[in-house]
A and B are shown apart, each in its own frame.
Chain A
Amino acid sequence: MSFDAAVFAVSWPGDRDTGTQALQAEQQLNRFLADVERRALRIAEIAVRDRDEALDLVQDAMIRLVRKYGQRGSDEWAPLFYRILQNGIRDWHRRQVVRNRVMVWFGRGSGVDESYDPVAGAADPLGRTPDEDLQNSEAMASLESALRTLPARQREAFMLRTFEGLDVAGTAVAMGCSAGSVKTHYSRAMHALREQLVEHGPDSGWPGD
């Protein structure tokens, strides 16, 4: 018996089952978070372009999920977790806008890297995975760049449906909108991505016409 279960057994001897159930629920949460955290990090990183900021957003989402929805059924965790994460990403972008305005006020420039090249910027993750196949790396860089050009809602719909594998209903919960809106955002995202990625030609590693 672990320490937590022992605490229950000592404090409430007739309720060992409750302590065991609580531990099982905690282990289930641990498995869920361990399963989802790496994909969540990459999704957040694509959205905010910064690994450290993405790590903070994912950690915050994990804590909020445990605190607010830990007692919910495990089948609800994925949409709820991504809803928290997407809200965090949107808040992050809002803060960035305010921060940029303040920077402009103090005459430190717009705060936006206007010379930012999406393709060049997307090369950073490639440097962290030097063993990857070059073509796949370039294709992924192209995908990330294309995703960053999409409106936020389209990007969310695409990443949640394609990367995380949520169904339409789960994506609707995560995005806080209707299933119809999810389908519209996803369809438009797919259309825009196809146009952008196929332009890279047959060597891009993307399926063309």
Chain B
Amino acid sequence: MKERDEELGRRAKALFDESVDGLDAASLSHLNRGRQAALAELSRRRQQWVRWMPAAGATVAVLIAILVLAPQQQAPEVPIAVADMEILLGEDDIDMLEELEFYSWIDIAEQDDDVG
């Protein structure tokens, strides 16, 4: 049974191949045009991509610039407490803070002189 099936399959394949080889020129030409149309689709898509590549590159560059620069422009203000801590922790500024009352007295005195 299996041998007969294999023989039938071989015979069918041989006949089929013969009919394929006997295709007329018009059909072969039609097939060739269809294949070229299909491949043209591939080229067209690729060239479309190439055409848009400069614009896409510029867009990406702008987006990167925005991402890099935006944090600096929109940096949240340092809370006052944090600023005070920086002043307090800086050794150079401690002397100035100790003389703070003196500087205030000078300001008041100058204002009184101006009035007087």
Interface residues of A (CB under 8 A from B): 4, 7-8, 11-12, 22, 26, 29-30, 33-34, 37-39, 41-42, 51, 55, 58-59, 62-63, 65-67, 70, 125, 128-129, 131-132, 136, 139-140, 143, 162-163, 165, 190, 193-194, 197, 205-207, 209
Instruction: Tell me the bound Cα distance from A8 to B34 in angstroms.
Output: 26
User: Cβ of B28 < 8 Å from any Cβ of A?
Assistant: yes
Residues of B within 8 Å of A, CB-based: how many? 35
Interface residues of B (CB under 8 A from A): 4-5, 7-9, 11-13, 15-16, 18-20, 22-24, 27-28, 30-31, 33-35, 37-39, 41-43, 45-47, 50, 53-54
Known: A58-B31, A66-B39. 15 other contacts (CB 8 A): A4-B43, A4-B47, A7-B47, A37-B31, A39-B16, A55-B30, A59-B34, A59-B38, A62-B35, A131-B22, A163-B12, A190-B8, A190-B9, A194-B8, A209-B4
Instruction: Tell me the bound Cα distance from A139 to B18 in angstroms.
Output: 11
| In the complex, number of A-B residue pairs with CB atoms less than 8 Å apart | 116
Contact A205 B11 (CB under 8 A): yes
Instruction: Tell me the bound Cα distance from A182 to B50 in angstroms.
Output: 44
Contact A136 B7 (CB under 8 A): no
Contact A66 B41 (CB under 8 A): yes
